[in-house]
Chain A
Amino acid sequence: MGTSIVDGTVEEAVVKRKRGALTVYSPLTFRLNDGGSRTIKSAVVSGDVANHLQPGKSGRFYLFTALDLKGVHGARTADGAAYEFPGKNNAIIFIVLIVTNILWIGLRITVDDGVPLLGVALLGLGVVGFFLTRKTQAEAKAQFDRDRGTA
């Protein structure tokens, strides 16, 4: 959970699937400036950030992990900079999960005096998932903004 930075060059960026603004790469491999390499399997990328992930492009790449979602939320290359956190939809899904299950639990308590265990479990998952996704989103934005003004 959290963010990390890669300074290097995109070595391999295989598009696994593309839907709307979201692109999933598998694998996405960087050759690091220190000589090592870093590979991400199933990296989710959103919006213009994908334009910076062409093989051969060098610069600084901003990576995140939120629950089991991994990807690149920002890039600063010679072509400029781009930022977009791809996990925003997940936060919305968790809100829907929370609201739906509060209503379900409330209904069950009102109607038959019982508490649905599945509803409580899903509510718990929704709260934790929402919190962790929003926390990572805030970290990602702060991480990208810290480098503002640098190429």
Chain B
Amino acid sequence: MSRGEPRPLSSLARTTRILLIAQATIAGMAAIMTYAHGGPVPEDNALYALVVLVQFLLYIAGGIVFLIWVYRSTANAHAFGAEGMSAGPGLAVGWYFIPIANLWMPLTAMRETWKASVNPPNWEVERAPATMGLWWFFWITGNIAGIAAARLGWEEAAPETAGISYILSIASDLLTIPGALLLTGIVGAITRLQADRMNHQQRGIS
């Protein structure tokens, strides 16, 4: 693949982190509101509907900005000279949309980007921090809980599932909080690693 020049990520990373913190905040608000209601919140609750809408918009906006950051950080890792990574920038983004593979390949690609940012020529000997595995655990479980809650919520013919949907909905929001905050840290750390490497390269230090 073509290597190109590494590009600074700091402003993109800042936007990504702000959106992730906003996601964590709104998820906390949604969890509190759902819990305070003591059961599934009715559809005509305007305040809750607004929170859900903002949550959805933040999810979309945060997702787009984060994926741009993934693309650029992976491209930088390749530009630093890392070879043999399992994904180029396009595929690092694509993994999030490929069924089944999206259960583990995005984490693999993110770990490789971290390692390649630390030691590009021999990245495989590096170890990615445990926080990455933890982030991925919260991300996957939060998503599964959210999807299950939504699907059970749609089953109007089975009102006995409403209680489970209520619990899963709170669980999904609560799992989103540590997931988003851990990802904020990961985005910041990889961005700093890459910025340091770019500074070293500009000063002629390998």
Do A and B associate with each other?
yes
Check A63 against B84 for contact (C-beta < 8 Å).
yes
Contacts of A27 in B (CB 8 A): 124-125
A36 in the interface (beta carbon within 8 A): yes
Per-residue interface assignment for chain B, residues 167 to 206, with 1 indicating a CB less than 8 Å from any chain A CB and 0 otherwise: 0000000000000000000000000000000000000000
Q: Return the contact of A65 from the options B86, B99, B100, B125 (Cβ within 8 A).
A: B86
Q: Chain A contact residues: over half helix, strand or loop, or mixed?
A: mixed
A1 contacts partner chain B, Cβ-Cβ < 8 Å: yes
Q: Is the CB of A128 within 8 A of B122?
A: no
Q: In the complex, which residues 89-133 of chain B have their Cβ closer than 8 Å to any Cβ of chain A?
A: 91, 98-101, 104-105, 108, 121-122, 124-125
- Chain A contact-residue range equals 20 to 34
The one of A1, A37, A63, A124 in contact with B87, judged by C-beta atoms closer than 8 angstroms, is A1
**Interchain CA distance A24-B39 in the complex, whole Å:** 53
Task: Flag whether B88 is at the interface (Cβ < 8 A).
Answer: yes
User: Is A76 close to B, CB under 8 A?
Assistant: no
User: Is residue B85 contacting chain A, with contact meaning CB distance below 8 A?
Assistant: yes
A127's nearest neighbour on chain B, judged by CB, is: B98
Alpha-carbon separation in the docked complex, A11 to B146 (Å):
49
Interface residue? B36 (CB, 8 A): no
The answer to whether A39 has its CB under 8 Å from any CB of chain B is yes
Contact assessment for B125 and A125 in the assembled complex, using a CB-CB cutoff below 8 Å: no
Q: Are A67 and B86 in contact (CB under 8 A)?
A: yes
Bound form: Cα–Cα A16–B160 in Å = 52
Residue in chain B with minimal CB distance to A28: B124
- Asked if residues A121 and B122 are in contact (CB atoms below 8 Å), the reply is no
Q: Does A68 count as interface, using CB distance less than 8 angstroms?
A: yes
A40 touches B84 (CB 8 A): yes
Residues of B with C-beta under 8 A to A2: 1, 88
B99 contacts A38, C-beta separation under 8 Å: no
Let me know if A122 is at the binding interface, CB within 8 A.
yes
The complex places the Cα of A41 from the Cα of B111 at a distance, in Å, of 14
**Contact residues of A between 2 and 37, Cβ < 8 Å to B:** 2, 4, 27, 36-37
State the Cβ distance, B92 to closest chain A Cβ, in Å: 10
With contact pairs A36-B122, A41-B124, A65-B85 given, residues A128 and B98 touching in the complex (Cβ less than 8 Å): yes
Cβ-defined contact, A124 with B98, below 8 A = yes
Query: What is the distance, in angstroms, from B90's C-beta to the closest C-beta of chain A?
Result: 9
- Cβ contacts under 8 Å, A52 to chain B: none
The docked-state distance in angstroms from the alpha carbon of A120 to that of B122 is: 38
Please name 19 pairs of A and B residues whose Cβ atoms are closer than 8 Å in the assembled complex, sorted by A.
A2-B1, A2-B88, A27-B124, A36-B121, A36-B122, A37-B121, A38-B83, A38-B84, A38-B121, A40-B84, A41-B124, A63-B84, A65-B85, A67-B105, A68-B86, A124-B98, A124-B100, A125-B98, A125-B101
Task: List residues of A whose CB falls within 8 A of some B CB.
Answer: 1-2, 4, 27, 36-41, 63, 65, 67-68, 70, 120-122, 124-125, 128-129, 132
